[in-house]
Amino acid sequence: MLPPSSRYQFTPDLKICRLLNGMWQVSGAHGYIDPEPAVTEMFRYHQAGLTTWDLADHYGPAEDFVGEFRSRFAARFGRDRLAEMQAFTKWVPYPGPMSREIVERAVDVSRKRMGVESLDLLQFHWWDYADERYITALRHLSDLQRAGQIRHLALTNFDTDRLRTIVEGGIPIVSNQVQYSIVDRRPAMRMAEFCRQGGIKLLAYGAILGGLLSEKYLGRREPRRDELNTASLQKYKQMIDAWGGWELFQELLAQLKRIADRHQVTIANVGIRYVLEQPAVAGVIVGTRLGLSEHIADNQRVFNFALDPADYIRLESVLMKSRDLLAAIGDCGDEYR
Ligand SMILES: NC(=O)c1ccc[n+]([C@@H]2O[C@H](COP(=O)([O-])OP(=O)(O)OC[C@H]3O[C@@H](n4cnc5c(N)ncnc54)[C@H](OP(=O)(O)O)[C@@H]3O)[C@@H](O)[C@H]2O)c1
């Protein structure tokens, strides 16, 4: 079981596990996921203390898996115990009209698929800032929250300037989900401080770069695109290229391995722990290919150690050689626009 430090009071009514299970990996772009073993596997995560799920309307069957899991869980343990799990979904609409009816219909679809009266957290994504209908959508979502269909409203991949505009416009935002890793430290530049001041939490993805930040790739020659068999690996390989390239990444992996050995943990543990220790970060989402692969026991170790100042100095000796991703790509989420 996980230690108390693994739990986090995310909102007054929601205590989450700081290590969230990411469900993009069941979308189909990361290998075929068989629904039956996948839903069965969700019990293992829950029983290990990994009770918080991150998903989206467009992650293939993810919302249906949550609905099925909740239904089986209630049948086995009783409905009262459903409060032990948290499921954070997203709404990622194509830019277009954002009438109340359209917004409400989208929320209804997610509620129905997940089998909930009220969504624990709805994280809103928007593709195009030039189309300001995202503000209209957020106002409707805020109304739906007041009506009880959403418990908490959040964003994903919004930059600091838009986040500020939204919050100052009176829309209550509890978190922003962004890419955050030892390689992609853009959130530390502007976003984290703004969030810290406003009590907004960061949920981080990409902390282990789809699995690239692990012993598996230490000492390995640069993989070709066709050797990277998930959408996640392909995405983060591009990030490594923008950050400084494969050679520098190998230097980073070697340094991480030395740090991991000192703490008797793995490279992935150090990568996740690093992000967990950053200001404003409530949790790190680690993707899980349910029924295909699992790293539960290894990932649980992130709560059993802490990085010390010497580790940070060692890391900085490599990180100082990397490119400035804020300058190269832009603020959080700009890679999507
Ligand atoms: N808001 C957004 O735009 C956005 C974007 C991307 C992701 N996300 C969220 O974040 C989640 C994470 O996705 P991600 O793409 O960032 O992937 P990730 O968490 O960086 O990587 C997941 C993969 O890492 C490997 N892994 C996990 N634990 C490991 C360990 N201890 N040692 C070695 N390898 C390990 C597994 O690979 P194998 O299965 O091959 O073993 C797993 O499939 C998604 O599911 C989603 O919920 C959100």
Helix H or strand E segment including 55: none
Which tens digits make up the pLDDT trace of 130-169?
999 999 999 999 999 999 999 999 999 999 999 999 999 9
d(CA 296, CA 44): 9
**Which residue lies with its CA nearest to atom 20 of ligand 1?**
210
Q: Does any ligand 1 atom lie closer than 6 A to the CB of residue 295? A: yes
The residue to mutate among 17, 18, 25, 178, having the most atoms of ligand 1 within 8 angstroms of its beta carbon, is 25
Q: Is 211 left (phi over 0), alpha (psi -120 to 50) or beta?
A: left
Q: Does any ligand 1 atom lie closer than 6 A to the CB of residue 281? A: no
Per-residue model confidence (pLDDT) at position 101: 98
d(CA 278, CA 274): 7
Per-residue model confidence (pLDDT) at position 255: 98
Q: What is the mean pLDDT of residues 304-309?
A: 98
d(CA 310, CA 125): 38
**Which residue lies with its CA nearest to atom 21 of ligand 1?**
210
CA of 328 to the centre of ligand 1 (A): 24
Residues 6+ apart with CB under 8 A from 153: 121, 122, 124, 138, 141, 142, 145, 171, 172, 173, 174
**Which residue lies with its CA nearest to atom 24 of ligand 1?**
211
Domain with 76 in it: 10-209+275-305
d(CA 203, CA 212): 20
The residue to mutate among 234, 285, 290, having the most atoms of ligand 1 within 8 angstroms of its beta carbon, is 285
Structural tokens at position 37: 């073993």
Is residue 228 assigned to a domain? no
- How much of the chain exceeds pLDDT 90, in percent? 99
CA of 210 to the centre of ligand 1 (A): 5
Which amino acid does the sequence have at 77?
F
Task: Give the rounded distance of the alpha carbon of 286 from its chain centre.
Answer: 7
Is residue 249 assigned to a domain? no
Is residue 69 assigned to a domain? yes
Q: What is the mean pLDDT of residues 196-223?
A: 98
Number of domains in the chain: 1
Per-residue model confidence (pLDDT) at position 148: 98
Is residue 126 assigned to a domain? yes
Is residue 310 assigned to a domain? no
Helix H or strand E segment including 284: strand 281-287
- How much of the chain exceeds pLDDT 70, in percent? 100
**Which residue lies with its CA nearest to atom 36 of ligand 1?**
211
CB contact at 8 A, 136 and 98: yes
How many Cα atoms within 13 Å fall on the side-chain side of residue 139?
Answer: 11
Task: Give the rounded distance of the alpha carbon of 215 from its chain centre.
Answer: 22
Which tens digits make up the pLDDT trace of 22-67?
999 999 999 999 999 999 999 999 999 999 999 999 999 999 999 9
**Which residue lies with its CA nearest to atom 25 of ligand 1?**
211
Q: Does any ligand 1 atom lie closer than 6 A to the CB of residue 293? A: yes
Is residue 262 assigned to a domain? no
Q: Does any ligand 1 atom lie closer than 6 A to the CB of residue 24? A: yes
Q: Does any ligand 1 atom lie closer than 6 A to the CB of residue 25? A: yes
d(CA 183, CA 264): 22
Per-residue burial over 181-199, b if 16 or more Cβ lie within 10 Å, else e, is bbbbbbbbebbbebbeeee
Q: Does any ligand 1 atom lie closer than 6 A to the CB of residue 214? A: yes
3 state SS for 61-111: CHHHHHHHHHHHHHHHHCHHHHHHCEEEEEECCCCCCCCHHHHHHHHHHHH
Give the C-alpha distances (Å, rounded to integers) separating 187 from 8, 290, 296.
Answer: 20, 29, 27
β pairing state of 52-54 and 19-22: parallel
Per-residue model confidence (pLDDT) at position 201: 98
Biggest distance spanned by C-alpha atoms of the chain: 56
| Average pLDDT of the chain, as a whole number | 98
Per-residue model confidence (pLDDT) at position 1: 82
Q: Does any ligand 1 atom lie closer than 6 A to the CB of residue 212? A: no
CATH number at residue 103: 3.20.20.100
Is residue 56 assigned to a domain? yes
Is residue 95 assigned to a domain? yes
